[in-house]
Every structure is written in structure tokens, then in C-alpha cells.
Structure 1
Amino acid sequence: MRPRTLDEVVGQQHLLRPGSPLRRLVGEGSGPAGPSSVILWGPPGIGKTTLAYVVSRATDKRFVELSAITAGVKEVRSVIDGARRASGGYGKETVLFLDEIHRFSKAQQDSLLPAVENRWVTLVAATTENPYFSVISPLLSRSLLLTLEPLTDDDLRGLLRRALTEERGLGGAVALPEDTEAHLLRIAGGDARRALTALEASAGAALDKGEAEISLATLEETVDRAAVTYDRDGDQHYDVASALIKSIRGSDVDAALHYLARMIDAGEDPRFIARRLMISASEDIGLADPTALPLAVAAAQAVAMIGFPEAALTLSHATIALALAPKSNAATLAIGAALEDVKKGAAGQVPAHLRDGHYKGAAKLGHAQGYVYPHDVPGAIAAQQYLPDALRGRTYYSPTRYGAEARYADVVERVRERLRGEGA
């Protein structure tokens, strides 16, 4: 089912618009020739190798494929020499597809430069790693960097349905019910190769049984993955997410990990999970463990950078830490009480001594007059009014005695006494 033309490629529409570099690379349009070197960056199974094949087929060029895992400088030079002979003797250009270029050493990448500079080959290199960290600057500066995006469920659904109906695929020999298709999309995780492999294997199993369609049970047996009841756009999405957060709030680390695993296995967006963990860190832990929010934020940043499957480790790390952290909702209640007063209109005027005094005429209005600079007094706490008159004496924050917040409970009372002029 490998696409034969750019029009058959699923996804990556941002790279396939008319006049795009990829279109010019295959000779479409009347503009200038395409680039001599292209680096395709993206996760596995989203079409990097496919695009290289399409380029070679569309232009009738020689296609040579090397993997950086097994090839060395000797193999690269051999390909380049062959490309020069083919170009000079037969007028045949060569497309060199180099998979996993990030695995090449600096010296190995250097060996590609003459071929790229002299256009002896059209280099199409693929990498799953950030090329700014893994590809040498001279090669990167001579290449067009194209970032491939993960395939959506709609992209994969179109690919599966094409494979079911086209003669070069299954040719209509078997049907794919909606529930089976939904599970297949979940286990594919945005990987086209994984989706087609599972489809082929389960279709074979169904036909061996004499079945006209691939049942959910057949797919589960074939791929050895049970279908988890989880709809990313329905009730299960919110129910399981709610159960995860409530298990963390209840300090049941095992239950929290169970619901986390269900979300991961169902193909939930890891960024959605990370966002929920950041909210939990402030809503349910707060100052009982001031390190909880930085940890959750760090987890979210890591998840955004690495993605699945490794992101599961980061999410597990954060979930365990949050579940076992001391709990406090004092910060949640505090802002809730303050907002309630504001919404009721209990605001009042900012005390004159707190108002801005950095403009001409402020002193005549009494603004910023009488303000005591806290750093000028012992302990850096000045006994003066900060709340508006209408709210004088109002308290919002009531710390708990759990975890690190016990220290804040002692501090806040002493500070309030000093602000009222009661403490020494």
C-alpha cells in the first residue's frame, strides 16, 4: 500500500501544497528545481521512507537506500561514485535515501557534503531526532528541513479503508466494522506501518476462519491487545481522567497508575494527561509540597519533547510523586474565596498610600503618601493597611498543617500580627 505519487500520501498536507519544495523535487510546476538535499524529521511510521520512494518513482531517478545503522563511510562513498558514473555515462540522476541519519558520526556526515554540494545525488535523509542536535551544521545549512507531523486518526482511517478496497490491498475480501477499526486506530498510535501490519494480520486470521469481517475478538487475538473501553471524545475520556485525578487526590498511587495506564493504552494525548497533572499539583497539593508543581511542569515539558512511548515513564514518575505527596487544597479555597468577594462587588478603593506615585501630581492627590517601604523596617514587614477599607481584616488563606504547609501556617499568623502592629 505504499503510495506511488504524492497525491496518494496520507497526512503531511502542509508539505504537499502546490508549489511546495516536495512538489518541485518531483518535477511538478514550472518554477525552479527542487532542493538537492532534504532532511525529513518526524516520529516513526508517518511517511519519511515513503516520501523518498515517491520522489524516486516520480522523477524516474535511480533510488539507493542506506541505513545509518549498518552503513559506513565506505558504503556512502561507493554510492556517490556510482551516482557520478550513472550521471556521466547514462544521464541518470540518483536519489540517496539515508535512514536514521542521526546515527551517523560527524565524519560519516562530512562524507556526504561533496555529493550534496555538487548535486551528484539528491539526498533525502530521515531522522526521528532533532536535526539541530544530531546533524552537522554544514549539511543542515545545505539542506531543506521538512518537519513531518504525526498522522491523525482520520489520516489512518483513510489509509485503512483504501487498503481494504484496493486490489493491491485486500480487494474487498473482508470488512472492518467500526468497533474493530476504532481499536485498530488506538493500537496504531499514529503509525501507518503498525496500522497496516495489524490490518493484514487480522484480515488473514478472519479469512482463515471463514469470516466476512474482522471482528473485535479476532483483532484482539491477532495483536494480543485487549480493547480498552475508552473513547477519547466521549464519556470514558472524562470518566477515566476524573478517576486518575481523584485517585491522586486520595493518595491511592496504585489506582492512579491503573487509570494512567488505561489512558496511555487507549492512545490518549500525553499532553492532555500532563495538563491534568499540573492542575492537580496546585489544586490538591499546593504548598503542602511546593515541589509538586515544578515537578508536574517539568513532566509536561519532557512529554512535549519526547512523546510516546517514552513519555509513559515521565507520566508515571509524576503521577507517583503527586499521589504520594501531602495534600492541601488551601490555595484552591483561598483564590475561590477571594474571587467570590470580587464577584459580589466587595472590592473597594485601593488605599491611597498603595496607589501609583510615579507621575506628576500624584503627591497632590495623596497617592503613595505615607507608604512604608517594608525593606526599611526590621523583619521587612511594615504594619500598614493593604486591603481596601471594605475588606479590612478579611482573610482568605487558611493553611493546613500537612507537609511543608505547616511552616506556612506558623508564618502567616506571625505576619498577620505584624501587619496589624501587634507583633514585635
Structure 2
Amino acid sequence: MTSGVSDLFSHRGEQLRQSLAPLADRMRPRSIDDFQGQEEILGPGRLLRRAIAADRVGNLILYGPPGVGKTTLARIIAASTRAHFSSLNAVLAGVKDLRAEVEEARRRLEQHGLRSLLFIDEVHRFNSAQQDALLPWVENGTVTLIGATTENPFFEVNKALVSRSRLFRLQPLQPRHLHQLLQRALQDPNHGYGNRSVRISAEAAEHLVDVAGGDARSLLNALELAVETSEPDDDGVIAIDLTIAEESIQQRAVLYDKQGDAHFDTISAFIKSLRGSDPDAALFWLARMVEAGENPRFIFRRMLISAGEDIGLADPQAMVVVEACAAAFERVGLPEGLYPLAQAALYLASTDKSNSLLGFFDALKSVKASSRQNVPAHLRDANRDGKAFGDGVGYRYPHAYAEHWVAQQYLPSALQGQVFWQPGQLGWEGQRRQLLQQRRAAQLAAAAEHEAELGEVLSSSPEDPALERWLQRQLGSEGERLDALRSRLWQDATWRRHDRVLILEARSLLWALDPLEHTPEGGVVIQTADSTDAERLRNQLRVLDALRQPSVLCCDTAGLAGALEPGSVFEWIAARHPFRDLSADQLPAALDQLERLAAPNGQLRLLFSQPAIGPAAALLAITDLPDALRNLLAPLPALEQAWLSAPPDRELLQIGLEQRGWQVNWEQWEEPLELNLTAALIERWLGVNAAYRSHLSGVLQPEQVRLLNDALQERRGYRLPQKLQHQRLTALRMGSIARKASTR
């Protein structure tokens, strides 16, 4: 009786807790399909989504700013796993709590064979001793760790824990995700305000989303405050207008930690902007540091280093100017000290003195007003975690280029093209006005060209030696010539670890080996139309871990969309000899499907190979060929050149792709080789159903074809000269910056 009463009160207490919980807690997604944003790591076909569905989630560390779904994602994993799930908050828990959880996990594993997932929120708050206490149990598999942190795990988490975990970097939510979340909160009768009459104006919704800055919790807290503090009108409607929205959420936070990523990344971006002679970007990053409370003396110290390192004797006054500005700052203090601070930065960026200091305050206003201030990946500090997250990759060192300048993006993508400093037309500024305009135009063009090359690297995994050994065996199994073609197909590919790759019309694993190595948190799909090929490929892949195996689909290209998981798109689509059997009328439909399957800024790589010398031309190179046979073959080489034109038509393919928004490039080369005249080769040329024999039937009589076959059979073992013409098509699906630049 006592137990029943206790359970009743416990149940009622839980119901009361849920009803009193904040809106942000009530609106947490319950399933992965309800999860907003993070498509780069949770989209269809991505590794983490597959791992959750297969209940194969290993050690994870989820890293990102507040309000992007780290804890929510952990709860979704908890709801989908068959393992026991428990959680700790590192702010409240100590070694004693940790040991208790580990002991229970060990008991469950030994007595019941049940795995245990341990979620630790704010894992960076554990000190070194607490993290060390956890490490042995993670290593021996007693617990599977899921950690959530707002700090860079490479900086704040035990390196041994990091090396044994997959890392996923969650990004601030996009405005469209926040708008969807806002509408769901207003319409949900169980967890939101669907059972109340709430009307929000478009301006109010836009303000809430903009100031929330990608933070779902901040958005929902502001909505809750607006609704709960507003009285309904005579019709019972709670109307949220722009004034109420502004009172509910007034200030955008500038995310900045003086000991973490933001500190190092932002000062790195600032110094690289000075070195790159970009005054606009230099002012922007300077404004961000000032707004976030960075010590101006630290900035002056870094500018003194820059004056010596990046300007030196090219302008001996640079060091003098920075030192004078630093002394002026010490004399006047803040806020007036911002003038000499900005003056020194502009001098270094422009290698001469400028009085256009008001541009700094334009940049300061932009910091306060802009919601997208992420440091581009290639400008981030690469000294600590560049290998895992790709920070600093793609940065172009200006000193390596003529005139010590190169066109590249220094501002965030959302602010690309923004002008903060506009030089006048007279004196020193006037002399540089035209050069600066030319450089700004070149930077926009460079951003358009390279928009798809660099992107966020959102995950990291421990090394997999078994996979490395398997890849090396596969690379050697196809022969040196085909391996060279594989290298040429993927040459200069800029991989991201979470990219998804589609290999079309595959008969071999060769073309998928590079994606398998470089996209461990993405996914590789191999399509083949032949069931025998599909079974052979699956057998070759069985030695790999199930989560690392590519998906092999047996279907024709027309049915590919139906065979894929709904919503599947790919950053890379590649094939050798695609569209072989398509007519010119069928090609548009195939290109339409490619467009549907390609992600924004997706890339296409196609390799076409075609003999440059036909059988007759190769045979005529044999020196002891009888005159009768030589006369028989003499008219054929000219005809073979027409027969050898390879489908699909290159011009039609290029036009079709460009009409669909692709930027296309071709590369062509020849490969000389020799053919061994074998029975199989003769059968391929002159067999009953051979295409070459079909061509010959329009030129030679059946008796002549028989004589040709007999002559070839007598010369089996001869080495015939051959040339292959290879054509590689690379195409980039143009993104927003590219389209903007192309319309200028």
C-alpha cells in the first residue's frame, strides 16, 4: 500500500514537473526526425544517423555553442538505444558519483551482458583527476561515453578521451530552423502554445530569430517570456508585436572565451587579415575582440609582432606607428583609446598611415547587428586541433605570392563583399583607392570560385589501422594502370570528413577507395546495375565494420532515387564511363537526377576513356601482314575514327550541366599502351554480337570478315599498339556566393 501511494505521488510529481518546465525543455525533440538543423552530421546517410538507427553509437563528444541541441541529441540516443542510459552533470557530480555509475555499469555488463551509455553534460568541467578516473572504464568498454561541451575538447578534455572518441562539432542553427521551431512551439498543443490563441507578427518573429543568433534555447525563452507576460485582448488573443519581442530579447551575445577557441581563432584571423592587406577584415576582427572584452594591450602586443614579422623593412615606420599608438592608448584610456588602436591596425593592413578611423565604428556596429560571425575555417588557429577539424586548412600564405598578396576570403561568408573602410580620393588614400577596389573584386571572385572547396569540418574519429590495411590491399589489387586512373580521378579533391559520396555504375571498389579513406563520418553509396557485381562488391566489403561499409545498391540509374533513403543528397558524385547506354534524348533526364542528388555546392567527377586507335589501325602496324589482308584493312582506319567517338557527346553534356547551374571543366590526356592479341580480344572485336563486327558488316562481306578472323587467330600473342584518350570532367554546383558574383 505504501509503495503504491509512493508511486502515485512520484507520477504526479513528474507530471507537475513537466507542466512547470520551461518551454525550451518541453519543446525538446523526441526523435531524430524532429531534430532541427545539423544536417551535416545528422542528415540522411550520415554516419551518426546510421549509428543511432543501428544502436551502434560509440564514444562521442558533442561540441558546440549553447542551444544547438547537444543535450537533446543525447536524449534522442537514450530513447533509441537498447543499452542502459544514465547521465551526470559535470558541474554537480564528483569522483564518487562517477565511480558509482561505473560500478553499476560493470555489474550490469557482468551479470546481464547489458551495455551502459554514460552521458556527461558539460564534460569540460571535470578536472584532470575526474577525467583520468573515467578513462580506464572507457578504454575497456565498461561504459560508452557521450560527452557534451561548449569548449573545444582538444583544449579542455583529456587527450586520451578525445583520441578514443568520435568528435562532432554542432553549429548554430540557421534562421530557417529557428523559424520552424518557433512555429512548432506556437502550434504544439501538448508542449507549446497550441491550446492558447497566440499571434506573432512577422517583424516580431524575425527579430526573435535574428537576435537569438542560432540559439534555440534563447529563442524559446524569449517567446515564453513574451507570451507569459502579455495580457490577452478582448478576443482572448495574445498578440506579440515587434515592441514586445524587443523587450523579450534585447541583446545578441558575442560568443568569446579568452582562454578558448574564440580567442585564438579571432586573433589568428586578425593577424592573417593584417598580413593579407585586407583592412575591412582587419577592422571586423578587431571590432569583435573589442566588443568581447579582449585586452587592448594584448592586441597591441600582437600588432607589434606583426609589424616586425609581416611588414619589417618594407615599411620601417610600421613599428614606430604601432608603438606611438600604444603609448597614446596608455595616455587617454578607453573609450577614446579605440582611435589609436584602430589607427595602428589600419596602418599595418595598408602599410601606411590612414585617418579613416571611423570605419572601425562601422565594423563595431556590424558586430552588434550581425548574427553570423563565425571565423572561416581557413583563418582559424591550426596549432591545436587543425588535423581533426581542418582548422587553418586552405589558408593561402600571402608571402608565397607575387606582390605578397593573394585573393582569398577573410570576412565571414555572410559578410563577404561588405565594405567597412572606404578610402578618399586624395593623397595617400587616393593613390591606393583603385588598387583596393581591384583587390576587393578579386576577393569576391575568389570566394565564388572556392566556396565549395572549404567548409566546416564537423567531426573527428580515432584512427582505424584495420581499415588502413584493407585499403592498401585493395589499392594494390587492381593493377598499376587503373590505380593511376583512380589517382587522376580524385586529384585535388578537397575532402571533408562528413561528406557523402555516390559512385555511379561501379563494377569495382577502386573508385570508392579514396572516399572510404577520407570521409569516415559521411557515407559512401555504390550503385551498380548488375546483381553479380553487387554481390561480389558486398563480399569484398564484409571484412569492414558494419558502420564503415559503403551501401551497395543494385538498381539502374533511373531507379536510384527510389532505392536511396528519402532526402539523400551527396557532396560528391563520381563515375567512370557513365551514361554509356543513354541516347541524346535520355541524357537530360539523367542530368536532372544528378541535380536532385547533389548537395548545394556538390561536386561531380566523371572519367571517360576511349581508344584512339581502332583494331584495323592497330593491325596495320604488324610488319609481316600479308598484302591481301593489308589491302582488306586499308580503308577501315578512317571509318574507325567515326566509330570511336564516345558517348555521351561532350558538348551536349557540358551544355546540359551548365543549364542546371554547374560550373564545368574538362581535362584530357593520352595513355600509350600495348594490347596482347588474345582469343578473348578477337572475340570482343569479331564475336557474333560484337559492336565492331556490326560496324564491319556495312563495309565488308561476311567472307571477308571470316578471313579477317582467321588471320587474327593465326597471330595470337602479337603485341598491338594502342592509345587511350582519357577525359576527366569536374563540375561544381554553384552556390549562393558564386551566383551572386556571376550576376555582378
Which segments of 5 or more consecutive residues in structure 1 lack a partner in the other structure? 227-240, 274-293, 295-299, 305-318, 338-424
Question: 1:70/1:330 Cα in 2 relative to 1: closer, same or farther (>3 Å)?
Answer: farther
Residues of 2 paired with 1:35 and 1:328: CA distance? 58
Q: Normalising by the residue count of structure 1, what TM-score does the alignment of the two structures yield?
A: 0.55
Paired position in structure 2 for 1:176: 200
Confirm whether residue 197 of structure 1 aligns to residue 197 of structure 2: no
Maintained 8 Å contact 1:62/1:94? yes
Paired position in structure 2 for 1:2: 28
Confirm whether residue 269 of structure 1 aligns to residue 372 of structure 2: yes
**Matching of residues 272-351 of structure 1 within 5 Å:** 328-333=429-434
The 3-state SS of whatever aligns with 1:124 is strand
Displacement after TM superposition at 1:128 (Å): 2.0
The 3-state SS of whatever aligns with 2:230 is helix
The 3-state SS of whatever aligns with 1:175 is strand
Residues of 2 paired with 1:221 and 1:25: CA distance? 43
Confirm whether residue 221 of structure 1 aligns to residue 247 of structure 2: yes
Question: 1:271/1:60 Cα in 2 relative to 1: closer, same or farther (>3 Å)?
Answer: closer
Question: 1:81/1:202 Cα in 2 relative to 1: closer, same or farther (>3 Å)?
Answer: same
Question: 1:219/1:60 Cα in 2 relative to 1: closer, same or farther (>3 Å)?
Answer: farther
Which segments of 5 or more consecutive residues in structure 2 lack a partner in the other structure? 1-26, 253-279, 285-338, 347-353, 377-403, 405-409, 414-419, 439-744
Question: 1:269/1:110 Cα in 2 relative to 1: closer, same or farther (>3 Å)?
Answer: same
**Matching of residues 330-409 of structure 1 within 5 Å:** 330-333=431-434
Q: Spell out, residue by residue over 1:86-127, the C-alpha distance to the aligned partner (whole angstroms, 9 max, x if none).
A: 444566543321122223333322222222223322211112
Paired position in structure 1 for 2:172: 150
Residues of 1 paired with 2:69 and 2:126: CA distance? 21
Residues of 2 paired with 1:335 and 1:10: CA distance? 41
Match for residue 67 of structure 2 among 45, 48, 53: 45
The 3-state SS of whatever aligns with 2:199 is coil
Give the paired residue count. Answer: 274
Q: Spell out, residue by residue over 1:191-225, the C-alpha distance to the aligned partner (whole angstroms, 9 max, x if none).
A: 01001111111122234565433111122233356
Residues of 1 paired with 2:142 and 2:36: CA distance? 30
Maintained 8 Å contact 1:36/1:116? no
* Identical counterparts, % of pairs: 38
Confirm whether residue 185 of structure 1 aligns to residue 212 of structure 2: no
Maintained 8 Å contact 1:53/1:63? no
The 3-state SS of whatever aligns with 1:270 is coil
Task: Tell me the amino acid that sits aligned with residue 228 of structure 2.
Answer: G
Residues of 2 paired with 1:335 and 1:122: CA distance? 54
Question: 1:44/1:90 Cα in 2 relative to 1: closer, same or farther (>3 Å)?
Answer: same
Q: Spell out, residue by residue over 1:160-218, the C-alpha distance to the aligned partner (whole angstroms, 9 max, x if none).
A: 11111112211152122210111001121110100111111112223456543311112
Residues of 2 paired with 1:334 and 1:90: CA distance? 73
Residues of 1 paired with 2:125 and 2:108: CA distance? 28
Question: 1:37/1:183 Cα in 2 relative to 1: closer, same or farther (>3 Å)?
Answer: same
The 3-state SS of whatever aligns with 1:96 is strand
The 3-state SS of whatever aligns with 2:194 is coil
Q: Spell out, residue by residue over 1:282-336, the C-alpha distance to the aligned partner (whole angstroms, 9 max, x if none).
A: xxxxxxxxxxxx9xxxxx69x99xxxxxxxxxxxxxx99x9xxx97342334678
Displacement after TM superposition at 1:80 (Å): 1.1
Paired position in structure 2 for 1:390: none
The 3-state SS of whatever aligns with 1:213 is strand
Question: 1:200/1:61 Cα in 2 relative to 1: closer, same or farther (>3 Å)?
Answer: farther
Residues of 1 paired with 2:216 and 2:437: CA distance? 47
Confirm whether residue 161 of structure 1 aligns to residue 183 of structure 2: yes
Paired position in structure 2 for 1:132: 154
Residues of 2 paired with 1:40 and 1:90: CA distance? 29
Maintained 8 Å contact 1:42/1:147? yes
Question: 1:56/1:336 Cα in 2 relative to 1: closer, same or farther (>3 Å)?
Answer: closer
Q: Spell out, residue by residue over 1:120-156, the C-alpha distance to the aligned partner (whole angstroms, 9 max, x if none).
A: 2221111222222222232122111112122100111
Confirm whether residue 115 of structure 1 aligns to residue 137 of structure 2: yes
The 3-state SS of whatever aligns with 1:145 is strand
Paired position in structure 1 for 2:102: 80
The 3-state SS of whatever aligns with 1:108 is helix
The 3-state SS of whatever aligns with 1:217 is helix
Task: Tell me the amino acid that sits aligned with residue 269 of structure 1.
Answer: R
Residues of 1 paired with 2:178 and 2:161: CA distance? 33
Residues of 2 paired with 1:329 and 1:165: CA distance? 58
Residues of 2 paired with 1:4 and 1:140: CA distance? 28
The 3-state SS of whatever aligns with 1:97 is strand
Q: Over aligned residues, Cα RMSD in angstroms?
A: 4.0
Maintained 8 Å contact 2:199/2:239? yes
Confirm whether residue 97 of structure 1 aligns to residue 119 of structure 2: yes
The 3-state SS of whatever aligns with 1:119 is coil
Maintained 8 Å contact 2:118/2:144? yes
Question: 1:213/1:61 Cα in 2 relative to 1: closer, same or farther (>3 Å)?
Answer: farther
Maintained 8 Å contact 2:58/2:144? yes
Maintained 8 Å contact 2:199/2:237? no
Question: 1:207/1:59 Cα in 2 relative to 1: closer, same or farther (>3 Å)?
Answer: farther
Residues of 1 paired with 2:153 and 2:215: CA distance? 21
Maintained 8 Å contact 1:36/1:121? no
Q: Spell out, residue by residue over 1:270-291, the C-alpha distance to the aligned partner (whole angstroms, 9 max, x if none).
A: 3699xxxxxxxxxxxxxxxxxx
Question: 1:269/1:178 Cα in 2 relative to 1: closer, same or farther (>3 Å)?
Answer: same
Question: 1:211/1:145 Cα in 2 relative to 1: closer, same or farther (>3 Å)?
Answer: same
Maintained 8 Å contact 2:201/2:240? yes
Maintained 8 Å contact 1:187/1:265? no
Displacement after TM superposition at 1:59 (Å): 1.8
Residues of 2 paired with 1:62 and 1:142: CA distance? 20
Q: Normalising by the residue count of structure 2, what TM-score does the alignment of the two structures yield?
A: 0.33
Paired position in structure 2 for 1:394: none
Question: 1:93/1:332 Cα in 2 relative to 1: closer, same or farther (>3 Å)?
Answer: same
Maintained 8 Å contact 2:102/2:137? yes
Question: 1:87/1:11 Cα in 2 relative to 1: closer, same or farther (>3 Å)?
Answer: same
Match for residue 15 of structure 1 among 41, 54, 60: 41
Residues of 2 paired with 1:50 and 1:6: CA distance? 10
Maintained 8 Å contact 1:35/1:144? no
Maintained 8 Å contact 1:184/1:195? yes
Residues of 1 paired with 2:437 and 2:119: CA distance? 58
**Matching of residues 15-34 of structure 1 within 5 Å:** 15-26=41-52, 28-29=53-54, 34=56
Maintained 8 Å contact 2:122/2:150? yes
Residues of 2 paired with 1:222 and 1:149: CA distance? 24
Maintained 8 Å contact 2:63/2:149? yes
The 3-state SS of whatever aligns with 2:240 is coil
Residues of 1 paired with 2:34 and 2:355: CA distance? 50
Question: 1:92/1:201 Cα in 2 relative to 1: closer, same or farther (>3 Å)?
Answer: farther
Question: 1:268/1:115 Cα in 2 relative to 1: closer, same or farther (>3 Å)?
Answer: same
